[in-house]
Structure 1
Amino acid sequence: MASPRPAARTLSRGDTGSFLLFIVAGVAIAVWAVISSAATIVAAAGNRDVRVPIDFLDTVAQAPIGPDGASVPVELTGAVVTAPSLPLASLWALFLSEGIFAAAVVTVVVLLLILCIGILRGEIFSRRHTRLVVAVGIVSLVAAFAVPFFHNMVANGALAWLSERTYDRGLTQQIDLPILIVVGFVAALSSTVFAVGDRLQRDTEGLV
Protein backbone atom coordinates (compact mmCIF):
# COMPACT_ATOMS: atom_id res chain seq x y z
CA MET A 1 0.00 0.00 0.00
CA ALA A 2 1.37 3.38 -0.97
CA SER A 3 2.05 5.69 1.96
CA PRO A 4 0.44 9.15 2.10
CA ARG A 5 2.37 11.95 0.49
CA PRO A 6 4.16 14.31 2.87
CA ALA A 7 1.95 17.28 3.71
CA ALA A 8 4.62 19.71 2.58
CA ARG A 9 4.38 18.32 -0.96
CA THR A 10 0.59 18.41 -1.00
CA LEU A 11 -0.36 21.66 0.70
CA SER A 12 1.08 25.16 0.51
CA ARG A 13 1.59 27.24 3.63
CA GLY A 14 -1.57 29.14 2.77
CA ASP A 15 -3.52 25.89 2.48
CA THR A 16 -2.17 24.71 5.82
CA GLY A 17 -3.07 27.99 7.47
CA SER A 18 -6.59 27.83 6.05
CA PHE A 19 -7.13 24.32 7.40
CA LEU A 20 -5.82 25.33 10.83
CA LEU A 21 -8.24 28.28 10.88
CA PHE A 22 -10.99 25.90 9.81
CA ILE A 23 -10.18 23.66 12.77
CA VAL A 24 -10.34 26.59 15.20
CA ALA A 25 -13.62 27.79 13.66
CA GLY A 26 -15.06 24.28 13.82
CA VAL A 27 -14.32 23.98 17.53
CA ALA A 28 -15.87 27.41 18.14
CA ILE A 29 -19.02 26.44 16.19
CA ALA A 30 -19.38 23.20 18.14
CA VAL A 31 -19.02 25.01 21.46
CA TRP A 32 -21.56 27.65 20.37
CA ALA A 33 -24.07 24.99 19.31
CA VAL A 34 -23.84 23.17 22.65
CA ILE A 35 -24.10 26.39 24.69
CA SER A 36 -27.00 27.72 22.58
CA SER A 37 -29.01 24.49 22.79
CA ALA A 38 -28.29 24.07 26.50
CA ALA A 39 -29.43 27.65 27.19
CA THR A 40 -32.67 27.10 25.26
CA ILE A 41 -33.37 23.84 27.10
CA VAL A 42 -32.67 25.40 30.51
CA ALA A 43 -34.89 28.40 29.72
CA ALA A 44 -37.77 26.12 28.71
CA ALA A 45 -37.28 23.51 31.42
CA GLY A 46 -39.68 25.23 33.82
CA ASN A 47 -42.36 25.27 31.08
CA ARG A 48 -43.34 28.87 31.85
CA ASP A 49 -43.30 31.79 29.37
CA VAL A 50 -41.56 29.73 26.69
CA ARG A 51 -40.29 31.76 23.73
CA VAL A 52 -40.93 29.96 20.44
CA PRO A 53 -39.77 31.24 17.02
CA ILE A 54 -42.33 30.52 14.31
CA ASP A 55 -42.29 30.90 10.52
CA PHE A 56 -45.66 32.02 9.15
CA LEU A 57 -47.22 31.66 5.71
CA ASP A 58 -49.70 34.10 4.16
CA THR A 59 -50.32 35.78 7.52
CA VAL A 60 -51.17 39.48 7.68
CA ALA A 61 -50.36 41.47 10.83
CA GLN A 62 -50.46 45.12 11.84
CA ALA A 63 -47.20 47.01 12.31
CA PRO A 64 -46.89 50.58 13.69
CA ILE A 65 -44.85 51.87 10.75
CA GLY A 66 -47.31 54.38 9.27
CA PRO A 67 -47.49 58.15 9.89
CA ASP A 68 -47.21 58.93 13.61
CA GLY A 69 -47.01 55.21 14.34
CA ALA A 70 -50.21 54.29 12.58
CA SER A 71 -50.79 50.58 11.97
CA VAL A 72 -50.03 49.29 8.50
CA PRO A 73 -50.82 45.76 7.24
CA VAL A 74 -47.67 43.70 6.68
CA GLU A 75 -47.08 40.10 5.68
CA LEU A 76 -45.77 38.23 8.70
CA THR A 77 -43.09 35.71 7.74
CA GLY A 78 -41.48 35.11 11.11
CA ALA A 79 -42.05 35.99 14.76
CA VAL A 80 -41.27 34.88 18.28
CA VAL A 81 -44.28 34.12 20.45
CA THR A 82 -44.23 33.63 24.21
CA ALA A 83 -46.44 30.76 25.33
CA PRO A 84 -47.47 30.69 29.00
CA SER A 85 -46.64 26.97 28.83
CA LEU A 86 -46.38 24.16 26.30
CA PRO A 87 -48.15 20.80 26.07
CA LEU A 88 -45.91 18.05 27.41
CA ALA A 89 -45.39 16.56 23.94
CA SER A 90 -44.35 19.94 22.55
CA LEU A 91 -41.99 20.54 25.45
CA TRP A 92 -40.23 17.22 24.83
CA ALA A 93 -40.16 18.02 21.12
CA LEU A 94 -38.30 21.23 22.00
CA PHE A 95 -35.76 19.25 24.01
CA LEU A 96 -35.33 16.77 21.14
CA SER A 97 -35.00 19.54 18.56
CA GLU A 98 -32.27 21.32 20.50
CA GLY A 99 -30.52 18.07 21.45
CA ILE A 100 -30.46 16.83 17.85
CA PHE A 101 -29.21 20.21 16.64
CA ALA A 102 -26.31 20.28 19.10
CA ALA A 103 -25.44 16.61 18.55
CA ALA A 104 -25.53 17.01 14.76
CA VAL A 105 -23.32 20.11 14.78
CA VAL A 106 -20.77 18.50 17.10
CA THR A 107 -20.77 15.27 15.05
CA VAL A 108 -20.31 17.11 11.75
CA VAL A 109 -17.54 19.27 13.19
CA VAL A 110 -15.69 16.26 14.65
CA LEU A 111 -15.91 14.35 11.36
CA LEU A 112 -14.69 17.35 9.38
CA LEU A 113 -11.84 17.94 11.83
CA ILE A 114 -10.74 14.33 11.39
CA LEU A 115 -10.88 14.93 7.63
CA CYS A 116 -8.81 18.13 7.98
CA ILE A 117 -6.18 16.38 10.09
CA GLY A 118 -5.92 13.64 7.48
CA ILE A 119 -5.48 16.21 4.72
CA LEU A 120 -2.84 18.07 6.76
CA ARG A 121 -0.96 14.79 6.97
CA GLY A 122 -0.89 14.68 3.18
CA GLU A 123 -3.72 12.23 2.55
CA ILE A 124 -6.48 13.87 0.54
CA PHE A 125 -8.44 11.16 -1.26
CA SER A 126 -8.90 7.82 0.45
CA ARG A 127 -11.66 5.39 1.30
CA ARG A 128 -11.54 6.61 4.91
CA HIS A 129 -12.06 10.21 3.84
CA THR A 130 -14.86 9.19 1.49
CA ARG A 131 -16.63 7.47 4.39
CA LEU A 132 -16.17 10.59 6.51
CA VAL A 133 -17.73 12.80 3.82
CA VAL A 134 -20.63 10.37 3.38
CA ALA A 135 -21.20 10.35 7.15
CA VAL A 136 -21.19 14.16 7.24
CA GLY A 137 -23.77 14.23 4.47
CA ILE A 138 -26.05 11.72 6.18
CA VAL A 139 -25.88 13.47 9.56
CA SER A 140 -26.51 16.87 7.96
CA LEU A 141 -29.48 15.59 5.96
CA VAL A 142 -31.06 13.85 8.96
CA ALA A 143 -30.62 16.96 11.12
CA ALA A 144 -31.98 19.25 8.38
CA PHE A 145 -35.20 17.23 8.49
CA ALA A 146 -35.44 16.23 12.16
CA VAL A 147 -34.73 19.62 13.78
CA PRO A 148 -37.48 21.51 11.89
CA PHE A 149 -39.83 18.53 12.26
CA PHE A 150 -39.64 18.60 16.06
CA HIS A 151 -39.64 22.39 16.12
CA ASN A 152 -42.87 22.29 14.14
CA MET A 153 -44.39 20.28 16.99
CA VAL A 154 -43.24 22.99 19.40
CA ALA A 155 -44.74 25.75 17.25
CA ASN A 156 -48.03 23.89 16.85
CA GLY A 157 -48.27 23.35 20.60
CA ALA A 158 -47.57 27.00 21.36
CA LEU A 159 -50.12 28.25 18.83
CA ALA A 160 -52.71 25.70 19.94
CA TRP A 161 -52.55 26.87 23.54
CA LEU A 162 -52.37 30.57 22.66
CA SER A 163 -55.35 30.39 20.28
CA GLU A 164 -57.28 27.74 22.21
CA ARG A 165 -56.89 25.47 19.20
CA THR A 166 -58.51 27.90 16.74
CA TYR A 167 -55.43 28.91 14.72
CA ASP A 168 -54.98 27.29 11.30
CA ARG A 169 -51.79 25.20 11.46
CA GLY A 170 -51.55 25.38 7.67
CA LEU A 171 -50.38 28.98 8.05
CA THR A 172 -47.04 27.97 9.56
CA GLN A 173 -44.09 26.30 7.89
CA GLN A 174 -41.01 24.96 9.65
CA ILE A 175 -39.56 22.38 7.25
CA ASP A 176 -37.93 24.16 4.31
CA LEU A 177 -37.97 21.73 1.38
CA PRO A 178 -35.48 23.73 -0.76
CA ILE A 179 -32.93 23.58 2.06
CA LEU A 180 -33.37 19.81 2.31
CA ILE A 181 -32.85 19.50 -1.44
CA VAL A 182 -29.71 21.68 -1.35
CA VAL A 183 -28.23 19.78 1.61
CA GLY A 184 -28.94 16.46 -0.09
CA PHE A 185 -27.42 17.68 -3.37
CA VAL A 186 -24.25 19.01 -1.70
CA ALA A 187 -23.87 15.82 0.34
CA ALA A 188 -24.25 13.62 -2.74
CA LEU A 189 -21.89 15.77 -4.80
CA SER A 190 -19.20 15.84 -2.11
CA SER A 191 -19.41 12.08 -1.62
CA THR A 192 -19.14 11.51 -5.37
CA VAL A 193 -16.13 13.83 -5.68
CA PHE A 194 -14.22 12.05 -2.92
CA ALA A 195 -15.18 8.61 -4.21
CA VAL A 196 -14.01 9.47 -7.74
CA GLY A 197 -10.86 11.15 -6.39
CA ASP A 198 -10.02 8.08 -4.33
CA ARG A 199 -10.51 5.80 -7.31
CA LEU A 200 -8.40 7.96 -9.62
CA GLN A 201 -5.65 8.19 -7.02
CA ARG A 202 -5.53 4.42 -6.57
CA ASP A 203 -5.49 3.94 -10.34
CA THR A 204 -2.62 6.44 -10.64
CA GLU A 205 -0.65 4.81 -7.84
CA GLY A 206 -1.14 1.47 -9.53
CA LEU A 207 0.56 2.80 -12.66
CA VAL A 208 3.62 4.07 -10.76
Structure 2
Amino acid sequence: MTSPRPTSRVLSPSDTAGYVFFIVVGVAIAVWAVVRSVANIVAAIPNRNVRVPMPFVDTAAQAPIGPAGAPVPIELTGGVVTAPSLPAPSLWALFLAEGLFAVVVVTVVTLLLLVTTSVLRGRIFSRRQTVLVSTAGIVALAGVAGVPFFHNMVANGAVAWLSERTYDRGTVSQIDLPSFIGVAFVVALVGTVFAVGDRLQRDTEGLV
Protein backbone atom coordinates (compact mmCIF):
# COMPACT_ATOMS: atom_id res chain seq x y z
CA MET A 1 0.00 0.00 0.00
CA THR A 2 1.36 3.42 -0.93
CA SER A 3 1.92 5.68 2.06
CA PRO A 4 0.40 9.17 2.10
CA ARG A 5 2.41 11.89 0.44
CA PRO A 6 4.30 14.24 2.77
CA THR A 7 2.29 17.22 3.91
CA SER A 8 4.79 19.60 2.31
CA ARG A 9 3.86 18.20 -1.10
CA VAL A 10 0.13 18.57 -0.45
CA LEU A 11 -0.28 21.85 1.43
CA SER A 12 1.35 25.22 0.93
CA PRO A 13 2.44 27.22 3.99
CA SER A 14 -0.66 29.41 3.65
CA ASP A 15 -2.85 26.28 3.52
CA THR A 16 -1.21 24.96 6.67
CA ALA A 17 -1.69 28.29 8.44
CA GLY A 18 -5.35 28.28 7.43
CA TYR A 19 -5.90 24.80 8.84
CA VAL A 20 -4.12 25.69 12.08
CA PHE A 21 -6.36 28.75 12.39
CA PHE A 22 -9.36 26.47 11.77
CA ILE A 23 -8.22 24.25 14.66
CA VAL A 24 -7.88 27.24 17.01
CA VAL A 25 -11.32 28.56 16.04
CA GLY A 26 -12.85 25.10 16.39
CA VAL A 27 -11.52 24.69 19.92
CA ALA A 28 -12.80 28.17 20.81
CA ILE A 29 -16.26 27.32 19.46
CA ALA A 30 -16.38 24.08 21.44
CA VAL A 31 -15.38 25.87 24.65
CA TRP A 32 -17.95 28.61 24.00
CA ALA A 33 -20.71 26.05 23.47
CA VAL A 34 -19.96 24.27 26.73
CA VAL A 35 -19.68 27.50 28.73
CA ARG A 36 -22.91 28.83 27.20
CA SER A 37 -24.89 25.69 27.93
CA VAL A 38 -23.55 25.32 31.47
CA ALA A 39 -24.34 28.98 32.22
CA ASN A 40 -27.90 28.62 30.90
CA ILE A 41 -28.47 25.43 32.89
CA VAL A 42 -27.07 26.96 36.09
CA ALA A 43 -29.25 30.05 35.62
CA ALA A 44 -32.35 27.89 35.17
CA ILE A 45 -31.77 25.44 38.04
CA PRO A 46 -33.46 27.66 40.70
CA ASN A 47 -36.50 27.76 38.38
CA ARG A 48 -37.16 31.42 39.11
CA ASN A 49 -37.53 34.19 36.50
CA VAL A 50 -36.40 31.95 33.66
CA ARG A 51 -35.75 33.76 30.38
CA VAL A 52 -37.30 31.77 27.54
CA PRO A 53 -36.88 32.59 23.82
CA MET A 54 -40.36 32.40 22.36
CA PRO A 55 -41.43 31.81 18.74
CA PHE A 56 -44.86 33.08 17.73
CA VAL A 57 -47.17 32.55 14.76
CA ASP A 58 -49.81 35.09 13.62
CA THR A 59 -49.59 36.90 16.95
CA ALA A 60 -50.58 40.57 17.11
CA ALA A 61 -48.75 42.96 19.42
CA GLN A 62 -48.21 46.69 19.94
CA ALA A 63 -44.84 48.40 19.47
CA PRO A 64 -44.10 52.06 20.42
CA ILE A 65 -42.79 53.02 16.98
CA GLY A 66 -45.46 55.55 15.94
CA PRO A 67 -45.32 59.35 16.28
CA ALA A 68 -44.11 60.33 19.75
CA GLY A 69 -43.87 56.66 20.66
CA ALA A 70 -47.48 55.86 19.84
CA PRO A 71 -48.24 52.12 19.74
CA VAL A 72 -48.43 50.55 16.30
CA PRO A 73 -49.82 47.07 15.60
CA ILE A 74 -47.16 44.57 14.56
CA GLU A 75 -47.01 40.85 13.89
CA LEU A 76 -44.88 39.19 16.53
CA THR A 77 -42.64 36.37 15.28
CA GLY A 78 -40.31 36.01 18.24
CA GLY A 79 -39.31 37.41 21.59
CA VAL A 80 -38.03 36.58 25.06
CA VAL A 81 -40.40 35.93 27.96
CA THR A 82 -39.36 35.87 31.60
CA ALA A 83 -41.40 33.12 33.23
CA PRO A 84 -41.70 33.23 37.04
CA SER A 85 -41.11 29.48 36.90
CA LEU A 86 -41.47 26.55 34.52
CA PRO A 87 -43.36 23.28 34.88
CA ALA A 88 -41.04 20.37 35.56
CA PRO A 89 -41.27 18.86 32.02
CA SER A 90 -40.36 22.21 30.45
CA LEU A 91 -37.47 22.72 32.85
CA TRP A 92 -36.07 19.30 31.97
CA ALA A 93 -36.59 20.07 28.28
CA LEU A 94 -34.45 23.18 28.80
CA PHE A 95 -31.70 21.08 30.37
CA LEU A 96 -31.90 18.59 27.50
CA ALA A 97 -31.80 21.34 24.87
CA GLU A 98 -28.74 22.97 26.38
CA GLY A 99 -27.00 19.65 26.95
CA LEU A 100 -27.72 18.47 23.43
CA PHE A 101 -26.47 21.76 21.99
CA ALA A 102 -23.15 21.45 23.79
CA VAL A 103 -22.74 17.76 22.90
CA VAL A 104 -23.53 18.36 19.23
CA VAL A 105 -21.15 21.31 18.88
CA VAL A 106 -18.30 19.57 20.69
CA THR A 107 -18.81 16.35 18.72
CA VAL A 108 -18.96 18.07 15.34
CA VAL A 109 -15.92 20.21 16.13
CA THR A 110 -13.95 17.19 17.36
CA LEU A 111 -14.74 15.15 14.26
CA LEU A 112 -13.83 18.01 11.93
CA LEU A 113 -10.60 18.63 13.83
CA LEU A 114 -9.71 14.97 13.35
CA VAL A 115 -10.29 15.47 9.63
CA THR A 116 -8.12 18.58 9.70
CA THR A 117 -5.24 16.88 11.49
CA SER A 118 -5.28 14.11 8.88
CA VAL A 119 -5.14 16.72 6.13
CA LEU A 120 -2.17 18.34 7.86
CA ARG A 121 -0.44 14.94 7.78
CA GLY A 122 -0.98 14.78 4.03
CA ARG A 123 -4.00 12.45 3.92
CA ILE A 124 -6.94 14.35 2.48
CA PHE A 125 -9.15 11.51 1.24
CA SER A 126 -9.59 8.13 2.88
CA ARG A 127 -12.35 5.92 4.20
CA ARG A 128 -11.66 7.24 7.68
CA GLN A 129 -12.03 10.83 6.47
CA THR A 130 -15.30 9.98 4.75
CA VAL A 131 -16.66 8.33 7.89
CA LEU A 132 -15.61 11.29 10.06
CA VAL A 133 -17.18 13.86 7.74
CA SER A 134 -20.40 11.86 7.33
CA THR A 135 -20.70 11.30 11.07
CA ALA A 136 -20.19 15.01 11.74
CA GLY A 137 -22.96 15.78 9.29
CA ILE A 138 -25.38 13.31 10.86
CA VAL A 139 -24.66 14.71 14.33
CA ALA A 140 -25.21 18.25 13.03
CA LEU A 141 -28.56 17.21 11.57
CA ALA A 142 -29.55 15.71 14.92
CA GLY A 143 -28.73 19.03 16.55
CA VAL A 144 -30.63 21.09 13.98
CA ALA A 145 -33.70 18.95 14.62
CA GLY A 146 -33.34 18.17 18.32
CA VAL A 147 -32.29 21.45 19.92
CA PRO A 148 -35.21 23.53 18.52
CA PHE A 149 -37.60 20.70 19.42
CA PHE A 150 -36.62 20.81 23.09
CA HIS A 151 -36.43 24.61 23.13
CA ASN A 152 -39.97 24.83 21.84
CA MET A 153 -41.14 22.40 24.50
CA VAL A 154 -39.74 24.95 26.96
CA ALA A 155 -41.52 27.81 25.17
CA ASN A 156 -44.83 26.00 25.00
CA GLY A 157 -44.62 25.11 28.68
CA ALA A 158 -43.85 28.72 29.59
CA VAL A 159 -46.83 29.97 27.57
CA ALA A 160 -49.16 27.41 29.14
CA TRP A 161 -47.87 28.29 32.62
CA LEU A 162 -48.17 32.06 32.14
CA SER A 163 -51.60 31.97 30.50
CA GLU A 164 -53.03 29.21 32.68
CA ARG A 165 -53.48 27.26 29.45
CA THR A 166 -55.74 29.89 27.88
CA TYR A 167 -53.30 31.09 25.20
CA ASP A 168 -53.07 28.82 22.17
CA ARG A 169 -51.33 30.86 19.45
CA GLY A 170 -47.72 30.85 20.61
CA THR A 171 -46.84 27.30 19.62
CA VAL A 172 -45.19 26.42 16.34
CA SER A 173 -43.91 23.31 14.64
CA GLN A 174 -40.47 22.96 16.09
CA ILE A 175 -38.03 22.36 13.22
CA ASP A 176 -36.87 25.07 10.82
CA LEU A 177 -37.46 22.98 7.71
CA PRO A 178 -35.47 25.16 5.24
CA SER A 179 -32.42 25.09 7.55
CA PHE A 180 -32.77 21.36 8.03
CA ILE A 181 -32.98 20.75 4.29
CA GLY A 182 -30.01 23.06 3.68
CA VAL A 183 -27.83 21.30 6.23
CA ALA A 184 -28.89 17.89 4.89
CA PHE A 185 -27.94 18.97 1.35
CA VAL A 186 -24.51 20.20 2.46
CA VAL A 187 -23.91 17.03 4.46
CA ALA A 188 -24.84 14.84 1.50
CA LEU A 189 -22.69 16.90 -0.87
CA VAL A 190 -19.59 16.88 1.35
CA GLY A 191 -19.97 13.17 2.08
CA THR A 192 -20.21 12.44 -1.64
CA VAL A 193 -17.13 14.56 -2.39
CA PHE A 194 -15.05 12.72 0.20
CA ALA A 195 -16.34 9.32 -0.92
CA VAL A 196 -15.51 10.05 -4.56
CA GLY A 197 -12.14 11.55 -3.60
CA ASP A 198 -11.29 8.44 -1.58
CA ARG A 199 -12.17 6.16 -4.48
CA LEU A 200 -10.17 8.21 -6.98
CA GLN A 201 -7.17 8.29 -4.65
CA ARG A 202 -7.26 4.52 -4.15
CA ASP A 203 -7.51 4.01 -7.90
CA THR A 204 -4.55 6.36 -8.43
CA GLU A 205 -2.47 4.64 -5.76
CA GLY A 206 -3.25 1.29 -7.41
CA LEU A 207 -1.66 2.55 -10.62
CA VAL A 208 1.54 3.68 -8.92
TM over 0.5: yes
**Separation in structure 2 between the aligned mates of residue 125 and residue 148 of structure 1, nearest angstrom:** 33
Do 2:156 and 2:170's aligned partners in 1 also have CA atoms closer than 8 Å?
no
Task: Give the fraction of aligned pairs with identical amino acids, expressed as a percent.
Answer: 70
What 5-or-longer segments of structure 2 have no aligned partner?
A: none
Contact 1:54 1:174 in 2 (8 A): no
Number of the residue aligned with 1:147: 147
CA distance 1:173–1:81, shift in 2 (3 Å)? farther
Task: For residue 169 of structure 1, report the CA deviation from its aligned partner.
Answer: 4.6
Residues 169 and 153 from structure 1, CA distance in 2 versus in 1: closer, same or farther, beyond 3 angstroms? farther
| CA distance in 2 between partners of 1:52 and 1:173 (Å) | 17
Larger mean CA deviation between 166-175 and 77-86 belongs to: 166-175
Residue type of the alignment partner of 1:162? L
1:129 equivalent in structure 2: 129
- Asked whether the 8 Å contact 1:56–1:173 carries over to 2, the reply is no
Cα deviation 1:117-172 (Å, max 9, x = unaligned): 00000000000000000110110011111101111110000000111111115653
Runs of 4+ in 1 over 4 A off after TM superposition: none
Alignment TM-score, normalising by the size of structure 2: 0.97
**Contact kept in structure 2, 1:108 and 1:140, CA below 8 Å:** yes
Aligned partner of 2:189 in structure 1 is: 189
Aligned to 1:110: 110
8 Å contact from structure 1 (residues 134, 191) kept in 2:
yes
> What letter is aligned with 1:188?
A
Which ranges of structure 1 fall in alignment gaps of 5 or more residues?
Answer: none
Say whether residues 1:82 and 2:82 are aligned partners. yes
Whether the aligned pair in 1 keeps the contact of 2:59 and 2:169 (CA below 8 Å) is: no
TM-score between the two structures when normalised by the length of structure 1 = 0.97
Q: CA deviation at 1:116?
A: 0.4
Partner of 1:35: 35
Q: Given residue 160 of structure 2, which amino acid in structure 1 is its aligned partner?
A: A
Distance 2:146 2:111 in 1: 20
3-state DSSP of counterpart to 1:56: strand
Q: CA RMSD in A?
A: 1.0
Match of 1:177 in 2: 177
Structure 2 vs 1, CA of residues 52 and 77 (structure 1 numbering), >3 Å: closer, same or farther?
same
